[in-house]
Structures are given as C-alpha cells and as structure tokens.
C-alpha cells in the first residue's frame, strides 16, 4: 500500500511540474482521478468518491466544475472538503475551478461504493445495512463478526455514526448509519 | 439566481414582497437558537453518550440554520424591493450585501424571529428533553409538508433535514417516556417541565403574516401534532394540560428576556472583534 501511494504522489507532482494536462474526454477522467485521492477529514479511510459526495464533474472549456453534496446537513467537514478539492486540482495543474454544493437529491448511504465499504470494515467500522435502517442491537461486529451486539447510542463520534458494543469480544465499535 | 417562483398558497393569499425572506429567517433563527441552547450541555450531559447525542442534535440544527441563512442571503442580496430589504440588520451598512454570519451575529433581539419555545433556558435534563421532543415532533410534521413546497431550495433543505429530524424525534420521545414513566423524582420533574414549557407551544400553530407563504394549514398541523404528543405522553404517564393561555410574539420579534442573554453569548465575539473570521 504505502509504495503505490508514494508512486501516485510522485506521478502527480511530476505532472504538476510539467503542467501537461490531458485534453478532451481524458480531462474529465483526469479530474475524477484527482478527486479519488481526496479523503474525508472525519473518516480518513474513505475518499470523497467512495462516499458519493461528488455528484458531477463538468468540463466547460478551461473551467472545471465540481458538484458536491453534504452527507449530513451540519457536516462540519464540508468547507474543508471543498477547500481540499480546490487545492488538489490546483496541485495537478487545473486553475479555473468552480465548486458548487447542492442539497437535492439528498445524500444517501446507497451511494457509498463497494470498495469504500470494504475499507470501512477493515478500519473497524460496521457498514450501513438495510436490515438496520434504524440502528438496533444485532449489527455485525466488524472485529469478530458476532451479531450479539448492543446499541449504546444512536449518536456517535460523528453525525454519520452510531455507537455499539460487541457482547462477545467486548470491543466497542462504530456503525455507519443507513441514511 | 432568483427564480420566478409560484407559491402553493397563491390561490388563497397572494405572495407578499419580503415574506419569503422573513419566513426563511424565522426558520433559520429558530434552529440557530435551539442549537445554541442545546450546546450548553456540551461537557455537562448526564452521561457521555447523552452528552454526545444532544450536541449531535445541536450540530444538525446548526446545519439547517446555515442552509436557511445562506438561502435567505441569496434572496436578500438579489432583491431590489424595499420590503424584503427590511429584514436586513438595522443600522448596519451592508453595502448591498449580507451573508450568513451577518444575519446570525449582527441582528438585534427585536430582529430575531425565532419561536419563544427555543429561547427558554435549558433547565434540567427533563426540560431540555421535553422541549426537544415538542419541537422535533412539530418540525418533523412541518418539514414533511415543506418538502413539497414549490420553492425548490426550501423543499431541498427540508427534505435533507427530515432524515436527521427522524432521529431527534425518536431519541427525545424515548427520553420523555423514560423520565415520565421512571422514578417518582423523574416523573415529578417532567410534570414541572410541562408546566414551564407548555404555554410556549401554542405559538407554533398561530401563524403570523409572513407564514402565509408556507402554504401550511396550521390548524390541521396542530391536530396532527397533538395526536402524536398524546401517544407519547400516555406511554410516559403524563397528561397534556387543559386549555391554557399561550404566549406569542417571538415570530415578530417580541421575545422573553432570555433571548437577550443568549444573543450576548452568541454574538459576543463578532461584536467585540468586528469582522473577525475563522
């Protein structure tokens, strides 16, 4: 993992030094691959594309228009995410950037990518499960996979999570709520 | 950005200039003040999990409030009519442009349009819980209708917020039941909380002029709300007070003495160090 991360970073910095930007259809793809490297400040194991926060990328001549949507209404990370998108695009040689926030359609955990879900489990956070649209006892423990678990609170360390404790391995864990 | 919008209520009441801005500020102020009140529990909740829960709710409310202020800002800055401009902070030369911070930090008590209910002191945990439940249940039913509003941005804000309000209703109603049907002490405190708070609930259903743009039938909303409250109160072994006099005024800027104090806290930094930013 760290090796590939490094290579990626090297590549991107090389790209910005030479300022060679892809053209035409490739441009959209290039923007998306930059966006795929930006992580969520509160759940850093996920990227903003894993979360489904990026709703659209439009190329309008020189102008790159990125449309994003907040996960929760009061998500304090949104301003930072918008800034990080701008910084990452500038680093990669894009200069004219417009970031728009939309509220409709409202964000849902259905937009979370499969890869994102796997990363969350590996990180120790239980993933949204349609059986538990309302958080309740029984969400699978991401550590020992037991379903003998107890809901401690519907409100966790961030707006998107609920707090659980596994009754078998005794580990407390977060559940990424269905939303 | 300003669109030519048609209002649902247009057939009964023609939309008045400035009503939409005023209504948005009413929604924004109400959520801002309740958020501020609840955040007083940060670090003081009865147990850690509940401290986190009430501050999570504060954060959701603050988010809603920012959305309403941002939208109001957009409309106010684009307006050319003087009635809408009336909602601008008085005595403040904005150079034609306002923003969400100015609306929150630089308006005076008489300019705030929040419900009286949300400015009441947090009281004990029982009072905080009861107020939250009575408000969240109202907000849930109100936003459920507003998500159908012809104003798309207002509808979008409410649709998004509803997902979170669902949690607030569930959490606060469970607590009302737990405390009402709990110990002699918790039951007595809930009865006292009802005595303190109930007379501020009527205002939610007594519309003022600018609320005509919401298109809401407030007497039907009141009936729906009372039915829900009754269900939870019955389970909590609590009773709804008989008809009592209801306090009003918040929606038009006539507040209890409590609002001045909370604004002093909220606006202190911006007024002491003007134009400071994060």
Give the homologous superfamily in CATH for domain A2-108: Fe-S cluster assembly (FSCA) (3.30.300.130)
Residue A8 has pLDDT above 50, yes or no: no
Q: If you ran DSSP here, which 8-state letter would residue B112 be given?
A: -
A134 contact residues in B (CB cutoff 8 A): 170
Give me the CATH number covering residue B261.
1.20.1260.10
Q: Give me the pLDDT at residue A14, please.
A: 43
Q: Which residue has the tokens 């309000």?
A: B165
Residue A24 has pLDDT above 50, yes or no: yes
**Maximum average pLDDT range among A4-13, A80-89, B81-90:** A80-89
Residue B6 has pLDDT above 70, yes or no: no
Q: How confident is the model at residue B96 (pLDDT cuts 50, 70, 90)?
A: low
| A17-31, A95-109, B32-46: the lowest-pLDDT one | A17-31
B66 contact residues in A (CB cutoff 8 A): 74
Nearest to B158 by CA among B17, B4, B28: B28
Q: If you ran DSSP here, which 8-state letter would residue B46 be given?
A: S
Q: Give Cα separations from A137 to A147, B37, B166, B177 (angstroms).
A: 8, 31, 19, 20
Q: Is the dihedral of CA B44, B49, B52, B54 positive or negative?
A: negative
Residues B179-192 have a mean pLDDT of 98
Q: Does B60 touch chain A (CB under 8 A)?
A: yes
Reported as half-sphere exposure (CB side, CA atoms, 13 A), residue A61 has a value of 1
Q: How confident is the model at residue A21 (pLDDT cuts 50, 70, 90)?
A: low
* Domain annotation covers residue B5: no
Q: What is the pLDDT of residues A113-166, one digit of tens each?
A: 999 999 999 999 999 999 998 899 999 999 999 999 999 999 988 889 999 999
* Domain annotation covers residue B76: yes
Closest alpha carbon within chain A to B152: A104
Contacts of residue B52, Cβ cutoff 8 Å, sequence gap at least 6: A153, A155, A156, A157, A163, B45
Q: What is the pLDDT of residues B143-167, one digit of tens each?
A: 999 999 999 999 999 999 999 999 9
Residue B80 has pLDDT above 70, yes or no: no
Q: Which two tokens stand for residue B164?
A: 């979170």
Contacts of residue B38, Cβ cutoff 8 Å, sequence gap at least 6: B54, B55, B57, B58, B61, B122, B128, B132
Q: What is the pLDDT of residues A161-170, one digit of tens each?
A: 999 999 999 9
Q: Does B159 touch chain A (CB under 8 A)?
A: yes
Q: What is the pLDDT of residues A69-97, one digit of tens each?
A: 999 998 888 989 999 999 999 999 999 99
Query: Burial of A9 by CB count in 10 Å (0-12 exposed, 13-18 middle, 19+ buried)?
Result: exposed
Q: Which two tokens stand for residue A28?
A: 């959209």
Q: What is the mean pLDDT of chain A?
A: 87
Q: Give me the pLDDT at residue A75, please.
A: 86
Residue A6 has pLDDT above 60, yes or no: no
Q: Specify the number of domains making up chain B.
A: 1
Q: Does B150 touch chain A (CB under 8 A)?
A: no
Q: Does B258 touch chain A (CB under 8 A)?
A: no
B63, A73: Cβ pair inside 8 Å?
A: yes
Among the partner-chain residues A73, A75, A154, the one whose CB lies closest to the CB of B171 is A154
Residue B8 has pLDDT above 60, yes or no: no
Residues B75-83 have a mean pLDDT of 69
Closest alpha carbon within chain B to A164: B49
Q: Which two tokens stand for residue A31?
A: 């923007």
Q: Report the residue of B53, B58, B59, B175 to disrupt the A interface, i.e. the one with the largest count of A CBs within 10 Å.
A: B59
B57, A155: Cβ pair inside 8 Å?
A: yes
Q: Does B277 touch chain A (CB under 8 A)?
A: no
Ranges of each domain in chain A: 2-108, 124-176
Q: Give Cα separations from B114 to A172, B75, B119, B157, B203 (angstroms).
A: 40, 19, 8, 18, 10
Q: Give me the pLDDT at residue A86, please.
A: 97
Chain A closest-CA separation from residue B49 CA (Å) = 6
Q: If you ran DSSP here, which 8-state letter would residue A175 be given?
A: E
* Domain annotation covers residue B129: yes
Q: Give me the pLDDT at residue A71, please.
A: 93
* Domain annotation covers residue B138: yes
Query: Burial of B228 by CB count in 10 Å (0-12 exposed, 13-18 middle, 19+ buried)?
Result: middle
Q: Does B42 touch chain A (CB under 8 A)?
A: no
Q: How confident is the model at residue A16 (pLDDT cuts 50, 70, 90)?
A: very low
Rounded Cα gap, residues A33 and B121, in angstroms: 50
* Domain annotation covers residue B53: yes
Q: Give me the pLDDT at residue A45, please.
A: 94
Residues B69-97 have a mean pLDDT of 64
Residue B130 has pLDDT above 80, yes or no: yes
Strand partners of residue A39? A47
Strand partners of residue A101? A68
Contact B75, B20 (CB under 8 A): yes
Question: Strand A149-153 and strand A97-101: pairing?
Answer: unpaired
Q: Give Cα separations from B43 to B38, B46, B53, B67 (angstroms).
A: 11, 9, 12, 27
Q: Give me the pLDDT at residue A22, please.
A: 63
Residues B80-97 have a mean pLDDT of 49
* Domain annotation covers residue B9: no
Q: Give me the pLDDT at residue A113, please.
A: 94
Contact B31, B64 (CB under 8 A): yes
Q: Does B158 touch chain A (CB under 8 A)?
A: no
Q: Give me the pLDDT at residue B243, please.
A: 87
Q: What residues make up the domain containing B260?
A: 16-207+214-272
Residue B271 has pLDDT above 70, yes or no: yes
Rg (CA), chain A: 18
* Domain annotation covers residue B261: yes
| A76-80, B88-92, B136-140: the lowest-pLDDT one | B88-92
Rounded Cα gap, residues B18 and B1, in angstroms: 16
B12 compared with B264, residue with greater pLDDT = B264
* Domain annotation covers residue B81: yes
Q: Does B101 touch chain A (CB under 8 A)?
A: no
Q: Give me the pLDDT at residue B77, please.
A: 84
Q: Which two tokens stand for residue B171?
A: 């959490």
Q: Give me the pLDDT at residue B99, please.
A: 87
Looking at chain B, the number of H-run helices and the number of E-run strands are 10, 0
């Amino acid at each position: 993992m760290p090796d590939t991360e490094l290579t990626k970073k090297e590549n991107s910095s090389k790209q910005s030094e030479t300022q060679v930007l892809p053209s035409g259809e490739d441009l959209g793809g290039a923007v998306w691959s930059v966006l795929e490297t930006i992580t969520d400040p509160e759940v850093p194991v996920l990227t903003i594309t894993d979360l489904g926060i990026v709703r659209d990328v439009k190329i309008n001549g020189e102008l790159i228009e990125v449309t994003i949507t907040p996960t929760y209404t009061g998500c304090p990370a949104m301003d930072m995410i918008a800034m990080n998108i701008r910084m990452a695009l500038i680093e990669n040689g894009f200069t004219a950037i417009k970031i728009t926030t939309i509220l409709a359609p409202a964000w849902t955990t259905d937009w979370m990518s499969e890869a994102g879900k796997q990363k969350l489990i590996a990180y120790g956070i239980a993933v949204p499960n349609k059986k538990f649209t309302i958080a309740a006892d029984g969400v699978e423990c991401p550590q020992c996979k037991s379903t003998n678990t107890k809901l401690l609170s519907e409100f966790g360390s961030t707006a998107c999570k609920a707090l659980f404790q596994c009754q078998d391995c005794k580990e407390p864990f977060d559940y990424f709520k269905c939303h | 950005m300003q669109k030519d919008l048609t209002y649902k209520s247009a057939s009964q009441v023609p939309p008045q200039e400035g009503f939409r801005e005023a209504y948005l500020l009413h929604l924004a102020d109400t959520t801002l003040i309740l958020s501020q009140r609840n955040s007083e529990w940060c670090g003081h909740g009865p147990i850690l999990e509940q401290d986190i829960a009430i501050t999570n709710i504060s954060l959701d409310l603050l988010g809603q409030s920012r959305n309403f202020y941002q939208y109001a800002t957009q409309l106010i800055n684009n307006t050319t009519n003087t009635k809408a401009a009336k909602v601008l902070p008085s005595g403040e030369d904005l150079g034609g442009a306002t923003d969400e911070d100015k609306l929150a930090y630089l308006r005076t008590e008489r300019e705030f349009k929040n419900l009286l209910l949300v400015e009441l002191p947090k009281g004990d945990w029982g009072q905080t819980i009861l107020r939250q439940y009575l408000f969240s249940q109202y907000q849930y039913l109100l936003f459920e209708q507003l998500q159908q509003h012809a104003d798309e941005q207002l509808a979008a804000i409410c649709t998004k917020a509803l997902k979170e309000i669902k949690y607030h209703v569930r959490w606060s109603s469970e607590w009302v039941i737990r405390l009402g049907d709990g110990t002699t002490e918790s039951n007595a405190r809930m009865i006292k909380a009802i005595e303190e708070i109930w007379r501020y609930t009527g205002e939610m259903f007594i519309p003022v002029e600018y609320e005509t743009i919401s298109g809401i039938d407030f007497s039907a909303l009141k009936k729906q709300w009372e039915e829900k409250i009754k269900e939870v109160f019955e389970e909590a072994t609590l009773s709804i007070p008989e008809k009592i006099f209801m306090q009003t005024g918040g929606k038009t800027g006539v507040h209890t003495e409590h609002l001045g104090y909370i604004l002093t806290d909220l606006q202190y930094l911006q007024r002491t160090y003007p134009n400071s930013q994060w």
